[in-house]
Amino acid sequence: MVLAATARVPRSIAQESSASRDLGDLSIEELMNESVTSVSKREQKLSQAAAALFVINQEDIRRSGALNIPDLLRMVPGLDVAQINSNTWAISARGFNHQFSDKLLVLIDGRAVYTPTVGGVNWDTQDVPLEDIERIEVIRGPGATIWGANAVNGVINVITRQAKDTQGVLATAGGGTQDRAFGTAQYGGKIGEDASYRVFTKYFDHSDLPDLTGRDVNDDAWHLLHGGFRVDGSLSGNDSLTAQGDIYSGSEGAVIEHVAAISPPVNESVQRRTDLSGGNILGRWNHVLANGSDTTVQVYFDRYLRLGPSTFEARNTADFDFQRHQRLGSRQDVVWGAGYRRSADQIGGTIDGAFVPADRTLQLFSAFVQDEITLAPERVFLTLGTKLEHNAFTGFELGPSIRVSWTPSARDTIWAAVAEAARTPGRNEANGDFNIAAFTLPDGTPAEVGLVGNPRQEAEHLLATDLGYRVQAGSRVSVDLSMFYNRYRELRTLEPGAPFLETNPVPHVDIPLVFSNQMHGTTEGLELSTHFKVTDRWTLSPGYALLHMNLRTDPGSQDTITAANTEGSNPRHQAQLRSAVNLPHGLGWNTSLYFVDRLPAQQVPSYTRLDTQLIWRSTERLEWSLVGQNLLQNLHVESDDLVTSVQPTQVQRSVYAKFTWTY
């Protein structure tokens, strides 16, 4: 086992004081009054936000023992995080979870990482240094009024720290049984009196996981080298500028199920490696007017390449966003803006499938407005808004919402929301042609089942109703409860097409399954998160989520699988208990216990995961930690995703060690 080392040289007394603050010690009032921006694109208190919102702050990150963003997200009630193999996750909110969960929008510093190729997120390349994350804001429920299409069941907004807050040297290195080696080297400095910067490089080498039989797949699972920078500066007293960028390169392995031959039919599992590379650059300018209004302009460019024996995809995305925030009188706070996105791809065909056309450029035009109206000062707020978008697949889509919050006292907030959202098709649904399985018909004729795109695929739509209550019950307890009822229409189905005779590569019968929109249904549930300071040194954070799904195909649909598979691929119950204890002599003990209910459609049993972290701050500048993950079982399955061709593996028990040095 390799130890991990961290060193940071602070540049100010304020930063040194912050770094030496005891682990854990945000009060309940501080937690309730954290500033958030994801609900309305302006700062507001968490306690007053009219949405089901959970914030993972830097203290939570340090206490989690996690080394990647997916494992951090496990602490969010109502978010389903399931690891498929060593480099692939299924992450979704309020149901509909699979590898490419297409109803969850993810952003990093305002840059959308949702890919239109298959819908969803490539979590294997979202490698933000965790030390640089200020907070992660997670909305469960629609965010389409602000963030647009695909923000249907939730929004994850990763916000990194300004360069002035990461001054000095940071060096990490470490490893363990699963994370064989990892390290970061970072430096932050000043540019004159008005600007700060940081540069970093980061590397990790993550080992493979055993398959469902317990056999090591030996695929040299996943490694990535990542570098980047950020510059924050003031052009004047009213103007600020941010520029940041990243570049990465690496590779990963997986076992893929594919059709090897049609006559005779052969379906086999093969080990495949994919080379990963990409980068992005972002610029943001903010101008504050004398009356307190402000204008923000953001531009970014993102490119990624995924190359392997069964994969070739290159995508270039350019995005422009304009936003204006202003007060109208004493009772109205308005945010409005417009945006344009251009995403061009090249997707190579393989023996497993192809996109037709192979190259396509997608354009997205959008405009939004949201008005918060004060009905009773400091007590009742009504928020009205909508977003209008035009996309390349379904044309115009609208995302209206109505939100109201009532704060009867400084410690209580009751809120309700009604919102609509749309999930637009991906390239796979509109233009894909994929081979699924080969077999022999009863008369001996070889046959193949294929998945065929539908150029007329429609958007999926949601009408969501949310109700929530937050209370700070004294100085030691806070409770956040949200309940929801969602109605979906035009959900995706797979409809059988007419079989036909195909002669390439050999004569066989082709049986197509065509993407369509012939399913509807409802979901309902609740999410509960609490914080309880048992003593000044011990904090408990229980959480619970309940989900019930009821999906039905429309009259005329011949899809007999999708509804049951979707319902049965999401846990009905999830529960968690996180404990943070500050012990004498600089010791800290953090424990997270997660329960996830069974997935009947995937034949995945329920499981309980235990992670624990022991920290010892031996001096003001030196901190040691030992982390154990998945300690209750040597192996367990979290997902056997029927939607993906990636063969699932089992998550296994692991440990790693780390020490941190600051001065």
Please tell me the predicted confidence (pLDDT) of residue 6. Answer: 36
> Per-residue confidence at 11, pLDDT binned at 50, 70, 90?
very low
pLDDT score of 466 more than 50: yes
> Per-residue confidence at 219, pLDDT binned at 50, 70, 90?
low
pLDDT score of 326 more than 50: yes
639 inside domain = yes
Higher-confidence position of 28 and 489: 489
Q: What is the CATH number of the domain that holds 468?
A: 2.40.170.20
> Among 1-15, 108-122, 237-251, 614-628, where is mean pLDDT lowest?
1-15
- Mean pLDDT value across residues 351-376: 94
> Among 242-251, 474-483, 500-509, 522-531, where is mean pLDDT lowest?
500-509
What angle (nearest 5°) sits at the alpha carbon of residue 42, between those of residues 38 and 44?
Answer: 85
Please tell me the predicted confidence (pLDDT) of residue 152. Answer: 96
> Per-residue confidence at 220, pLDDT binned at 50, 70, 90?
low
For residue range 535-553, what is the model confidence (pLDDT) as tens digits? 999 999 999 999 999 999 9
23 inside domain = yes
CA end-to-end distance (rounded Å), the chain: 26
Q: How many independent structural domains does the chain possess? A: 1
139 inside domain = yes
60 inside domain = yes
For residue range 182-192, what is the model confidence (pLDDT) as tens digits? 999 999 999 99
The first and second tokens of residue 493, run together, are 């189905």
Higher-confidence position of 431 and 350: 431
**What's the predicted TM-score (pTM) here?**
0.94
Higher-confidence position of 487 and 44: 487
Please tell me the predicted confidence (pLDDT) of residue 7. Answer: 40
DSSP state of 603: T
Please tell me the predicted confidence (pLDDT) of residue 75. Answer: 97
Q: Name the E strands within 9-120.
A: 35-36, 44-45, 52-57, 79-85, 88-93, 104-108, 111-112
pLDDT score of 5 more than 80: no
Please tell me the predicted confidence (pLDDT) of residue 12. Answer: 35
For every residue of 232-267, DSSP letters joined together read: EEESSSSEEEEEEEEEEEEEEEEEEEEEEETTTTEE
- Mean pLDDT value across residues 590-609: 97
| Tokens 């369509």 belong to residue | 516
- Mean pLDDT value across residues 209-222: 78
581 inside domain = yes
Please tell me the predicted confidence (pLDDT) of residue 9. Answer: 39
pLDDT score of 35 more than 80: yes
Strand partners, 660: 6, 623
Report the mean per-residue pLDDT for the chain. Answer: 91
CA proximity to 574, closest of 120, 63, 75? 75
In sequence order, what are the residues at sequence separation of 6 or more whose Cβ sits closer than 8 angstroms to the Cβ of residue 63? 23, 24, 578, 580, 588, 590, 613
133 inside domain = yes
The length of the chain in residues reads 663
- Mean pLDDT value across residues 190-218: 90
Please tell me the predicted confidence (pLDDT) of residue 25. Answer: 59
Higher-confidence position of 18 and 426: 426
- Mean pLDDT value across residues 441-470: 95
Please tell me the predicted confidence (pLDDT) of residue 256. Answer: 83
Distance, CA of 89 to CA of 649 (rounded, Å): 11
pLDDT score of 642 more than 60: yes
pLDDT score of 469 more than 50: yes
> Per-residue confidence at 525, pLDDT binned at 50, 70, 90?
very high
Three-class HEC string of 133-172: EEEEEEEECCCHHHHCCCCCCEEEEEEECCHHHCCEEEEE
Give the domain range for residue 446: 5-263+276-662
Higher-confidence position of 219 and 133: 133
- Mean pLDDT value across residues 162-166: 96
268 inside domain = no
DSSP state of 559: -
611 inside domain = yes
Distance, CA of 547 to CA of 525 (rounded, Å): 5
Examine residue 357 and say whether the peptide bond preceding it is cis (omega within 30 degrees of 0).
yes
